Structure 1
Amino acid sequence: MRRAYSVETVRAAEAALMQRLPEGELMRRAAAGLAVACGDLLRRNGRVYGSRVLLLVGSGDNGGDALYAGARLARRGAGVRALLLAPDRAHPGGLAALLAAGGQVVDGPDGLGVLDLVVDGITGIGGRGGLREDATGLLHTVTRDRTPVLSVDLPSGVEADTGEVHGDAVRADATVTFGTYKPGLLIDPAAEHAGALRLVDIGLGPELPEPPDLEALQYADVAALLPAPGPESDKYRRGVVGVVAGSERYPGAAVLAVAGALHGGAGAVRYVGPGADAVIARYPEALVHAGPPSEAGRVQAWVVGPGLGDGRGAEAAVADVLAADVPVLVDADGLRLLDAETVRTRTAPTVLTPHAGEAAALLGTAREEVEAGRLAAVRELAARYRATVLLKGSTTLVAEARDTPVRVNPTGTSWLATAGSGDVLSGLTGSLLAAGLAPRDAASVGAYLHGLAARHGSDGAPVSAQDVAEGIRAAWRDVRAG
């Protein structure tokens, strides 16, 4: 599992560790790992010996890491030059090490020629706000030939704790981070700036507290959570999920939500709504009922909302489902039709699955604010509605009302930006709720499988929601296989 901590927590852990280490040892460890990563990137594009490396060096320890790593590269035969953005505040030890190893300091970008690598050591995790205008201009100049950029700890200009980007920021091809991940490396829009991530172990682990601020499940974590039928399983033990979806205008939403539930491992699916004929035509194993949901039969969880529209009875159907004493997932039109106080006072778990626009409506704010501050938005939604919230997007986030780490899904892909994909996710997550997974786990595993399924479904070509649904089983097998 990838775990991320706030800057304050990282600083405290570093301070505790440095008390037990010789002076400068922590920076030496960071610089050694950074130099190895730079070397790997240079070899991938050519060689280390004779390569041309430019260090963009800010003040403080971030610039010091870059300088010490540059010294190591210079000793391996690379031509390393440093451009100091704050010459009077450059790390003295790092600068001395670079010069002693044969590196050079340059006054500006003129005359640098073609570069093989630019190392971004401008601000790191201590920076606030976007890049200054002079740094932005410099960066554009030295990368105009598409020179690879490697950032030290965090792309300069992004917010480490929130993933927000206020102004210009470095867009790195790779980022080497030290000790632990930072939230901004995993959450968009900042994550889009980080490129490939590499974590360097500097011994910080024992100093980091539990729980982390953010976590991202990996294959082994998801495999451990996937439900599996036992010898005594029947359809009820495997989980029966009820789906209230679709309308005369949006019959496909019913089919896609049922598809997600069936491919997600539900023992049975009870469908309630006007799309029964379309559902049975595609999935004859589905159990259908005209409604209301409370009279459809036994379920272990409900999914309500996809394609429900504004037709007669839609609001009543949402209210009927929310009155059930089982976990309920609310999506799409259901989010617009729900009563907030009803959600807050439910005794059974509730999962809300908005995209940014729906989240903005629930919060009474602008969509742009949600997209710019995704972490704050998902936490506020979970607290305000006392629910588990899955905020869909380029990096899907899952938060609970209680004090547990926010989870970020690492399998997201732009192929999921297609009509009906969210309906599939709702059915899939609902099936996991019905199987007995806790709401946070069901939402996290559902998002993870959903992302993998899109990759299977696309096969390098444009993907449809039906492709995503059919890719769930392959995703499930991949996770099981590790």
Structure 2
Amino acid sequence: MRGRLDRMRTAYSVETVRTAERALMARLPDGALMQRAAAGLAAASADLLGGVYGRRVVLLVGSGDNGGDALYAGTRLARRGAGVTAVLLAPDRTHPGGLAALRRAGGTLARPDAADRLIDRADLVIDGIVGIGGKGGLRPDAVPLAERAARSGAVVVAVDLPSGVEADSGEVRGAAVRADLTVTFGTHKPGLLVDPAREYAGTVRLVDIGLGPELPAEPELEALQHADVAALLPRPAVESDKYRRGVVGIAAGSARYPGAAVLAVSGALRGGAGAVRYVGPAGHAVIARFPETLVSDQGPHKAGRVQAWVVGPGAGDDVATVSEVLDADVPVLLDADGLRLADREAVRARTAPTLMTPHAGEAAALLGVAREQVEAARLAAARELAARYRATVLLKGSTTLIVDPDGGPARVNPTGTPWLATAGSGDVLSGLGGSLLAAGLSARDAGSVAAYLHGLAGRLAAKGAPIGAHDVSDAVPRAWRDVRRTRPDAGGR
């Protein structure tokens, strides 16, 4: 897994990036920052092409600095023997320095109405239409160019962010460029890490332009990497026993859905806690599969001491059990039917941590909106849900987000595979997250680590083929070991 030793990726808002850029530009010669960006863009484009000489390159140039970046990058490619044509969407407001440089290097200019033939023949199209401040999708005159580029055989490279997607939110409110590669400068922008915008970005390459020292310590968004997760994983000490390692309670399953209990327990057993207590009507199924589980049919209050609870997977209409668990003064992971059955005020009134793990449909029901609205604005939906319920929210989906109710950086999970969209996969995730809570992780860290391991386990289990939820659970130890190998003190312990 190339680059897995890197520390977390961070993303900053447009306002923060612009403030940092102004501070840096005040100390640099005029135009130096744009030249750094253009050099990185040209190098990434050349790498993607595998060679520059004789290649046909089309620049889609808008009126902002992204257009200037594209022009200067095109200048560098033209000097190396590429045939470069700039399609000017705003001829009267095109970056004058970049335009003059391209002309001196032998580049040519074209109007949008002449672009179709050029794009069809191009090896590379560079999208410099709109900058990171763009809102509401592409303007009508740019839409045909984006569509033509998508249909052509050309490689499409976006400058900083695909034009038409929104940098801060990851929303796509209209037509947008679909890139094969996005070359972003200084730092990631949230939209590059969050769907649906992430889908438009293709592969993302970060170019260092010296912005780091100007950025604040706290980003808007974080994406943990192997080393970050390794530092958070619970590890038993020499004097540990099963109780010191934490005991997680699982209140899940029903006569109709006993498998949900089995899968939640399977995730919990692999999550770092020392023991798992199961409460519910699926005890026989749980014991048959996992005889090490401590089973009770007396309800959560009489199950024995636990350090955290998981409630809801496959619970049917068992309101009493959900209420009893929410009344406990320990961390609680609330999932599936538990999300539907929980009293909102009971969740808000809790003093111990609560981790809610809805998918988009469940989040939509909790917020009283359409599912499509959640999927279109995932980050905003997760933040709103966390604020309403005063709980940490893990919003599952194509990009899983973890958001605390008190603000701070949201986290986006970088692991996973579409093969995880299978029945019971979420039950495994719930058990895994609950076990990490019982082992002492905060709700934010437990959710982040659980999502990371779960996604990595899905990849390891699938290897490009369909899998079941039990395959994901079985692969969690492999994922755990893979992550632990990034720690210099891992030593196989």
Bin for the TM-score computed over the shorter chain:
over 0.9
Which residue number corresponds to residue 130 of structure 1? 137
* 1:176 alignment partner, one of 183, 186, 210: 183
* 1:263 alignment partner, one of 256, 270, 273: 270
1:150 to 2:157 alignment: yes
Which residue number corresponds to residue 3 of structure 2? none
Question: Is contact 2:264-2:428 (8 Å) kept?
Answer: yes
1:242 to 2:249 alignment: yes
Cα deviation per residue 1:341-367 (whole Å; 9 max; x = unaligned)?
A: 111111111100011111111112221
Segment drifting more, 245-254 vs 124-133: 124-133
Question: Is contact 2:248-2:276 (8 Å) kept?
Answer: yes
* 1:432 alignment partner, one of 425, 436, 440: 436
Question: What SS is found at the alignment partner of 2:287?
Answer: helix
Q: Equivalents in 2 of 1:359, 1:394: separation in Å? A: 14
Offset, 1:134: 2.3
Which residue number corresponds to residue 26 of structure 1? 33
* 1:109 alignment partner, one of 90, 97, 115: 115
1:87 to 2:91 alignment: yes
Q: What TM-score do the two structures reach when normalised by structure 2? A: 0.95
Offset, 1:77: 1.1
Q: Which amino acid letter does the alignment assign opposite residue 127 of structure 1?
A: G
1:215 to 2:219 alignment: no
* 2:237 alignment partner, one of 227, 230, 250: 230
Which residue number corresponds to residue 479 of structure 1? 483
Cα deviation per residue 1:391-443 (whole Å; 9 max; x = unaligned)?
A: 11100000111121000111132111111110000000001001101110000
Q: Equivalents in 1 of 2:116, 2:301: separation in Å? A: 73
Which residue number corresponds to residue 48 of structure 1? 52
Question: What SS is found at the alignment partner of 1:422?
Answer: helix
* 2:415 alignment partner, one of 403, 411, 416: 411
Q: What TM-score do the two structures reach when normalised by structure 1? A: 0.97
Offset, 1:266: 2.2
Which residue number corresponds to residue 204 of structure 1? 211
Cα deviation per residue 1:282-328 (whole Å; 9 max; x = unaligned)?
A: 11111100021110011110000000002xxx111011111111100
Cα deviation per residue 1:54-92 (whole Å; 9 max; x = unaligned)?
A: 111111100000000010111111111111111111100
Q: Which amino acid letter does the alignment assign opposite residue 442 of structure 2?
A: A
Which residue number corresponds to residue 489 of structure 2? none
* 2:372 alignment partner, one of 345, 368, 374: 368
Q: Equivalents in 1 of 2:157, 2:107: separation in Å? A: 18
Question: What SS is found at the alignment partner of 1:21?
Answer: coil
* 2:146 alignment partner, one of 129, 139, 143: 139
Q: Which amino acid letter does the alignment assign opposite residue 335 of structure 1?
A: L
The total of aligned residue pairs comes to: 476
Question: What SS is found at the alignment partner of 2:453?
Answer: helix
* 1:328 alignment partner, one of 327, 332, 336: 332
1:36 to 2:40 alignment: no
Cα deviation per residue 1:41-65 (whole Å; 9 max; x = unaligned)?
A: 011xxx2111111111111100000
1:300 to 2:307 alignment: yes
Q: Equivalents in 2 of 1:219, 1:117: separation in Å? A: 34
Offset, 1:24: 0.4
Offset, 1:110: 4.5
- Pairing of 1:386-397 with structure 2 (within 5 A): 386-397=390-401
Q: Which runs of no fewer than 5 residues in structure 1 stay unpaired?
A: none
Q: Equivalents in 2 of 1:404, 1:15: separation in Å? A: 24
- Pairing of 1:322-361 with structure 2 (within 5 A): 322-361=326-365
- The 1:121–1:439 alpha-carbon spacing in structure 2 relative to 1, beyond 3 Å, is same
Q: Equivalents in 2 of 1:233, 1:123: separation in Å? A: 57
1:77 to 2:81 alignment: yes
Q: Equivalents in 2 of 1:7, 1:308: separation in Å? A: 43
Q: Which amino acid letter does the alignment assign opposite residue 164 of structure 1?
A: E
Q: Equivalents in 2 of 1:396, 1:325: separation in Å? A: 27
Q: Equivalents in 1 of 2:56, 2:224: separation in Å? A: 38
Segment drifting more, 19-28 vs 111-120: 111-120
Which residue number corresponds to residue 280 of structure 1? 287
Question: Is contact 1:416-1:451 (8 Å) kept?
Answer: yes
Q: Which amino acid letter does the alignment assign opposite residue 225 of structure 2?
A: Q
Q: Equivalents in 2 of 1:29, 1:141: separation in Å? A: 29
Offset, 1:124: 2.3
Q: Equivalents in 2 of 1:341, 1:126: separation in Å? A: 39
Question: Is contact 2:333-2:357 (8 Å) kept?
Answer: yes
1:67 to 2:71 alignment: yes
Q: Equivalents in 1 of 2:299, 2:270: separation in Å? A: 25
Q: Equivalents in 2 of 1:346, 1:463: separation in Å? A: 37
Question: What SS is found at the alignment partner of 1:134?
Answer: coil
Cα deviation per residue 1:140-175 (whole Å; 9 max; x = unaligned)?
A: 224423321110000000011100000111111110
1:315 to 2:319 alignment: yes
Which residue number corresponds to residue 188 of structure 1? 195
Question: Is contact 1:109-1:142 (8 Å) kept?
Answer: no
Question: What SS is found at the alignment partner of 1:133?
Answer: coil
Q: Equivalents in 2 of 1:57, 1:23: separation in Å? A: 21
Q: Which amino acid letter does the alignment assign opposite residue 109 of structure 1?
A: A
Which residue number corresponds to residue 490 of structure 2? none
- The 1:110–1:373 alpha-carbon spacing in structure 2 relative to 1, beyond 3 Å, is closer
Which residue number corresponds to residue 15 of structure 1? 22
Offset, 1:209: 1.3
Q: Equivalents in 1 of 2:30, 2:141: separation in Å? A: 34
Offset, 1:212: 0.7
Question: What SS is found at the alignment partner of 1:228?
Answer: coil
Q: Equivalents in 2 of 1:380, 1:272: separation in Å? A: 32
Cα deviation per residue 1:160-215 (whole Å; 9 max; x = unaligned)?
A: 11000001111111101111111111110001100111111111111111311111
Q: Equivalents in 2 of 1:443, 1:141: separation in Å? A: 41
Q: Which amino acid letter does the alignment assign opposite residue 335 of structure 2?
A: D
Q: Which amino acid letter does the alignment assign opposite residue 217 of structure 1?
A: L
Question: Is contact 1:396-1:412 (8 Å) kept?
Answer: no
Q: Equivalents in 2 of 1:419, 1:83: separation in Å? A: 49
Q: Equivalents in 1 of 2:263, 2:185: separation in Å? A: 43
Q: Which runs of no fewer than 5 residues in structure 2 stay unpaired?
A: 1-7, 487-493
Question: What SS is found at the alignment partner of 1:165?
Answer: coil
